[in-house]
Chain A
Amino acid sequence: MLLKVKDLSVSRGGRMLLSGVNFGLAAGEVLLLKGPNGLGKTSLLRTLAGLQPSAEGEIILQNDTAIYAGHADGLKAGLSVIENLSFWADIFTESKRLDEVLTKFDLMAVQHRLAVRLSAGQKRRLGLARLFLSNRPLWLLDEPTVSLDEVSRNAFYKALVSHCATGGGALIVSHTPIDFEGSSKSIDLSHYVAKDFLTIEAAAFL
């Protein structure tokens, strides 16, 4: 199991959003999280990534196995494509595969262009390329296919399949259907909406 979630409650700004969330993710699986806007999907991902504390429940996850990609791509406008990517490669101490990753996401031709001059789709591709450098098995992705065209979407699906084939897994929040040829389950989070919008004390999180 890459990830197991037991009776998890998710809160945002002192308001309980989701409660009693239960699911597991095994290696090789893709799990889609669905639900309307404002339900707490992003908050759930951020909780799993360790960016915010969980209100209740248990997250079983090995240290340093997850990597998070949010709405923002975390790109530096003043750095070129290759500089952005090699920064993350250094952080994840992975240097060999830069070329491979650039080719995979069709960024070879623009590798010396500054990130500020990229289109929205190219920025997103560069943001996703970071995932491949990390070597971390569990991907927590928030709307990964936004602003991608069909070709890039397919490239992303292919990458996702190869990631799952090598023992990885992904948890994806997406409004657009993810139609890739691999095993995927989906969970409708509207079943877990917290009944009572209790204001809770934020736990110490240091």
Chain B
Amino acid sequence: MIALLSRDLKLTIRAGGGFGFAILFFFIVTLLLAFGIGPDIQLLRKIAPGALWVCALLACLLSMDRLFALDFEDGSLDLLLVAPIPLEVVVFAKSLAHWITTGLPLALITPLLGIFWDLPEKGYFWVCFSLLVGTPALSMIGAFGAALTLGLRRGGLLLSVLVLPLYVPTLIFGAEVSRLGAEGLDLQTPFLLLIALTLGALSLLPFAAAAVLRINLR
């Protein structure tokens, strides 16, 4: 599993791997949104947590369709299926690599972007922290969608349509945690639910995605 993880990280970070695009996309879209809404600081402040979460969601989806497609095209997915490593572990390792190269840097860059939205002091921490907790679920759900649409023409578009509705619960609780955190209110309930969603996705979806991959590779 470590071998697969380090291979995927290496491939993403090397030239042509697409590392950084998601972060740049996130950066630009949040800026555009802030400019589009205008200089009303009260309004910006109010909608900042939700807006940042929606932008992070879209950025997360950007590189998702390549997760299995590249390995499918060059035949390594076939070979991995025959190799002595469970396909569930393959799915988990690849999703983890996706999170390390997108979700993690996205979460870490939000405090910088918070400046443009004039986030309250506590908001910096909670937006960043809720993304840290929530984005693993986004990567894992996306991996399931990528497995479903593997080998389809225009699979990327179908992937977005399939996966974005599945992101709704994570978005609701993640944005709620950020909002309550920014206002300094009690956020235990949505925070626990956000953690539950992430843990649930991490423990169940590798099996679902692996089953779908097996069918798709026939």
A residues near B (Cβ < 8 Å) are 46, 49-53, 64, 66-79, 83, 87-88, 90-93, 130, 202, 205-206
**Majority DSSP secondary structure for residues of A touching B:** loop
- Known A51-B82, A70-B75, A92-B83; contact A79-B10, beta-carbon cutoff 8 A: yes
In chain B, positions 50-109 with a C-beta closer than 8 Å to chain A are: 73-76, 78-85
A91 to B86, CA, bound (A): 11
Number of interface residues of B (CB under 8 A): 27
Listed in ascending order, the chain B residues whose CB lies under 8 Å from chain A are 2-4, 7, 10-11, 14-17, 73-76, 78-85, 211, 214-215, 217-218
Q: Residue A74 contacts which of B11, B16, B78, B211 (CB distance < 8 angstroms)?
A: B78
In angstroms, Cα B75 to Cα A69, docked, is 9
Contact B78 A51, beta carbon cutoff 8 Å: yes
Contact of A72 among B10, B78, B211 (CB under 8 A): B78
Which residue of B is nearest A64, CB measured?
Answer: B84
Shortest A199–chain B CB gap in Å is 16
B218 → chain A closest CB, angstroms:
4
- The answer to whether A68 touches B11 (Cβ under 8 A) is no
A52 with B218, Cβ < 8 A, contacts A68-B78, A70-B78, A74-B76 known: yes
Q: Is the CB of A91 within 8 A of B211?
A: no
Q: What 13 new A-B contacts, CB under 8 Å, besides A51-B82, A52-B217, A78-B11?
A: A46-B78, A49-B82, A52-B218, A64-B84, A74-B74, A76-B7, A76-B11, A79-B11, A83-B10, A88-B79, A88-B83, A92-B83, A206-B214
Taking a contact as CB atoms under 8 Å apart, the answer to whether B3 and A87 are in contact is yes
Asked if B83 and A51 sit within 8 Å, CB to CB, the answer is no
Determine if A91 and B82 form an interchain contact, defined as CB atoms under 8 angstroms apart.
no
Contacting residue for A73 out of B75, B81, B82, CB 8 A: B75
Given known pairs A83-B10, A87-B7, A206-B214, the reply for A74 and B82 (CB within 8 Å) is: no
Q: 10 tightest CB-CB pairs across the interface, nearest first? A: A72-B75, A90-B3, A74-B76, A52-B218, A74-B75, A74-B79, A68-B82, A78-B14, A87-B7, A91-B83
